[in-house]
Structure 1
């Protein structure tokens, strides 16, 4: 069986990706921060779909944790894919000059350093240059990277722009080594990210701005992620796929 690591896999888009991967025939290793009950529930769903699954808790910005997550993942089988989904906004929306430096630093640690560490470890494990079998990496960005999110989360938008640049640059580095690197950029999606920022109705309130007049569902993002991991996307690398209802 092929094994895929999904960070931030206990909730929202990450959990939807895990469930879709399990239904598609992958085994899954879930990285998550601290919600043990949620992680156990996602593992149970994956196993009910016939997959092997495990969950490893820790800080995605910590090198030792990332190595441990990968080491645990390969106990399930051959690693073929990594989905870097873990991300935070840090706080309620506000102007840049209202942001606390410690909060912004943590957002950058999770959203940028966490993606860097997981991409680096993925290349070390997957690249034919390192004796690996090849594989695929999918990073989760946001359409905020293009909009800048003024008045809301400029720091978050900047972190996601960094993810897209990392994705494109790394894709060029490892394209001849059997590793494809792509990203998806979700728009407004019904996840608990909004509630965590103190705005539980944000997805509904933003719907009129979206050409399709609704927020997305995590499962719709998961479909794009799983496609980019699959052989159907064998000639796709260095791309960022917007999944946003047109916004």
Structure 2
């Protein structure tokens, strides 16, 4: 009989992960959760991010559990950079238990307005003010990068899923060989008080990408799942900071709070471990119930 202890179900000790956008916000929460529980994390971030300092902190965090971290700078908007990164990690690892494809950007119109109340001319001016390249950059990072990352790391992920286990099974039975893609609950809403159109559209595309990739990789049982976080502290959403454009919406979330590290890390630990090994091709909304709000009523 299979063990139902939490240690066996959610155990990620000794597993290998790649986490993109791992130096801040949701990516850092995920990295901390994995390292704290004994995983080895390859943290990817922009060259301008404090990668060395973050990695040092993560290695201290993992001392008692055997968790560790190593950092790499990478421009995820560039296919060649992704390929170079995958080659580096392939030279170090024979398999990859999990790819946490988390990095994302948001580009708002420079001429802001309240889209729910602005007069027609003001709304048009605001929407027209966004640069076309901002749309292109948003999709390049928020959607296209997930695709190329999954393709680049597919052989390592398939090797993890096919890896023999001590009980005669395969790695896939323990949840190994999984891609977790970070989307957003913004993909599920029709309106907010600000114009998130390019961001929300890219995230809606990402939600469908989860299904497309899962269908392509199912023969190797490389699982592809998504998470759709709500209000979670990050550079993109400075919860508690003065002037936060979302501050008026926090109290409308049924949970009456922003998301915390345990909410994100706990969800990911479920999806990448034996506990979530039967979950594939779906996205989990982690937003404190915000999705329950009627569209357009925010």
RMSD of aligned Cα (Å): 2.4
Question: Which residue number corresponds to residue 114 of structure 1?
Answer: 145
Question: CA offset at residue 108 of structure 1?
Answer: 0.9
Question: Which residue number corresponds to residue 243 of structure 1?
Answer: 286
1:97-136 → structure 2 map (5 Å cutoff): 97-127=128-158, 135-136=177-178
Secondary structure at 1:56 match in 2 = strand
Secondary structure at 2:97 match in 1 = strand
Higher radius of gyration, 1 or 2: 2
Structure with greater proportional strand content: 1
TM-score by length of 1: 0.89
Q: Is the 8 A contact 1:10 1:42 kept in 2?
A: yes
Match of 1:81 among 98, 104, 109: 98
Q: Is the 8 A contact 2:95 2:156 kept in 1?
A: no
Matched, 1:226 2:243: no
Matched, 1:8 2:21: yes
Q: Is the 8 A contact 2:107 2:198 kept in 1?
A: no
Deviations 1:25-70 (A, max 9, x none): 1100011113342x22321122111323211112102122212322
Distance 2:252 2:261 in 1: 19
Unpaired segments of 5 or more residues in structure 2? 1-13, 114-125, 164-170, 291-298
Question: CA offset at residue 168 of structure 1?
Answer: 1.0
Structure with greater proportional helix content: 1
Matched, 1:22 2:38: no
Distance 1:203 1:43 in 2: 30
Matched, 1:90 2:107: yes
Question: Which residue number corresponds to residue 46 of structure 1?
Answer: 58
Deviations 1:194-228 (A, max 9, x none): 35xx9752454321221112111244212212211
Unpaired segments of 5 or more residues in structure 1? none
Alignment size in residue pairs: 243
Secondary structure at 2:205 match in 1 = helix
Distance 1:154 1:126 in 2: 33
In structure 2, relative to structure 1, the CA distance for the partners of 1:245 and 1:125 (3 Å cut) is: same
Match of 1:155 among 177, 195, 198: 198
Q: Is the 8 A contact 2:18 2:99 kept in 1?
A: yes
TM-score by length of 2: 0.74
